[in-house]
Structure 1
């Protein structure tokens, strides 16, 4: 029996079985950018790997519509995708965010990454719509340092947003902190902060100089690992991405360290969607962008299948060791023969 998918084209019903790439990595999650607009201008931002394309604050006609986003998610569900994370830019600049979440397939776990400034007054509605988890970007507890890093004066508003998320039941709230030269001095304070405040967790994210163009801001993330290991009451190793969680005085701190990490890439189970409706198989690459056409379900299905089929682990395959301890591009993928 065929299914008429609303586009006037018969389509096979999804089996719910996740697609795998040639490296055995099942795609079980999607990360959907809803806009490249943002009310912050963070100095380290790479805009989901697309570079500094931040434009005017008014909505652009190029942004996926509400129906486009929902239609994509319905197709992703057919292919066994069980998780979606909404990102931006700042996703809460989308006034239809609650509708998008409410119309997300019930089988999907819904999370969001935000700078938190719009959570006061909206957090409860987002939870009612179906939001289950939230990450809030917070790179320092010092208002002046926060302003320098984010190019905004919204420190107090972010703190209010975190509390609004907790009050709405989004517990735990995970604070995202990018660790680089200008934030490293605030890591200790953030670790203490999550230990002293119930409902908060800390995610330390390795700075990605290849996406930001400022290698001089980089620090050795292993130093942070070593420091946390020395002070932690417990260390948990997560097989996914080979991550480590450190429990310090009751607070949970996790490090996300993808740079030059072949284990991280070997365990990646996500594809990404740009705000303009392009699929990409890897954060670090923009040479694999695939359009979804007019966003009909058949077009989305075809693009999704091809994106998964073409996925390549960035470190360990697309980038390979050069024999001297460094990394170089794998010519196999530069020649276009693959």
Structure 2
């Protein structure tokens, strides 16, 4: 169990089960508050072996040094962060992935999550990650021919990968919602339930250099679908989306960079993976960069 002190009280977290307990009757002094965000996502590489047209991830070559990731995780852990989420690009293309996950599991109290397309999860990779990753989020945009058209890979291959992942990890599905995938939501829930997913995360498509994002009609249909949803897999959504998904704001004073930050594959700290502004992490460490970023965001 890890304890994080902040403006909302004492937060107790168990990375093995995902249990969160807030003791809001406790009022820690400000000097005792955690200085790290609660959760930090880390793009370990920009490399990806897919070419989805709506992908927002940077396309220039960049990859993080293993020693930097180790050092940043140690610092974030000591400063009160609860978890890191590895992504990219495609994190399974990062050759040091098993090592950084093992470091987090063995040398820190951080929970490790991962966002992946799932297609490279074979028996060897699973054996190397087993026991070091607390939650896996698999990106699945549409089913059957929709998935194969958008992702350029076999949906049958994906189903086999989901079975393999579900055998050893708690996991959930991420779905980019756009005009191509909006009609597949019920089928996606069925796939998630069949393979034992514990979460279905809805991600309305964000505008990129080549796309305009989810349109008004798509968002309207999505909101209606959420309102009528009675499926077996719990829904979640991104912080940017307002879809009517039931959420509990247990930490109303822990917002912005106190709640979340992103580190891109060039070693730049940002408020989110979509944010244009950022601060390069230097020799003085990740917390110093985040403090500078907070000043930039407030300006």
TM range (shorter): 0.7 to 0.9
Q: 1:65, 1:192 → 2: CA distance?
A: 39
Cα 1:68–1:257 shift into 2, 3 Å: closer
- SS of 1:73's equivalent in the other structure is helix
Question: 1:37, CA displacement in angstroms?
Answer: 0.3
- The aligned runs of 1:1-338 (5 Å cut-off) are 17-19=33-35, 27-47=37-57, 50=58, 53=59, 55=61, 62-104=62-104, 105-121=107-123, 122-128=125-131, 130-142=132-144, 144-150=145-151, 152-168=152-168, 170-171=169-170, 173-209=171-207, 211-215=208-212, 217-218=214-215, 219-232=217-230, 248=231, 250-256=232-238, 258-259=240-241, 267-268=255-256, 269-286=259-276, 288-293=277-282, 296=283, 298-311=284-297, 338=299
What TM-score do you get using the length of structure 1 for normalisation?
Answer: 0.68
CA contact (8 A) 2:267 2:281 kept: yes
Aligned equivalents of 1:17 and 1:70: distance in 2? 23
Deviation at 1:107, TM superposition (A): 1.1
Matched with 1:59 is none
Report how many aligned residue pairs link the two structures. 256
What runs of 5+ residues in structure 1 fail to find an aligned partner?
1-14, 20-25, 56-61, 233-247, 313-337
Cα displacement (A) at 1:141: 1.7
Q: Is the 8 A contact 1:116 1:136 kept in 2?
A: yes
* Secondary structure of the corresponding residue to residue 136 of structure 1: strand
Q: Do 2:173 and 2:197's aligned partners in 1 also have CA atoms closer than 8 Å? A: no
Cα deviations by residue, 1:45-77 (Å, 9 ceiling, x for unpaired) = 000xx4xx155xxxxxx5221111111111112
State the distance in 2 between where 1:203 and 1:300 align.
28
Residue 165 of structure 1: SS of its match in structure 2? helix
**SS of the counterpart of 2:143?**
coil
Tell me if structure 1 keeps the 8 A contact 2:42–2:263. yes
Q: Structure 1, residues 102-160: CA drift from partner, whole Å, max 9, x if none?
A: 112421010000000111221232123x1110000111221x3212212x224333222
Cα deviation, residue 178, structure 1: 0.5
Moved over 6 A (4+): 263-266
Q: CA RMSD in A?
A: 2.7
| C-alpha spacing 1:267/1:180, structure 2 compared with 1 (3 Å) | farther
Q: Distance in 2 between matches of 1:71 and 1:166?
A: 31
Q: Which moved more, 1:74-83 or 1:264-273?
A: 264-273
In the aligned structure 2, how far is the partner of 1:197 from the partner of 1:64?
33
1-structure distance, mates of 2:269, 2:178: 29
CA contact (8 A) 1:195 1:252 kept: no
Structure 1 CA distance, aligned partners of 2:289 and 2:241? 28
Distance apart, 1:222 and its partner CA = 4.1
Structure 2 gaps, min length 5: 1-30
Bigger CA radius of gyration? 1
Instruction: Note closer, same or farther for the CA distance 1:124–1:309 as it changes in structure 2 (3 Å cut).
Output: farther
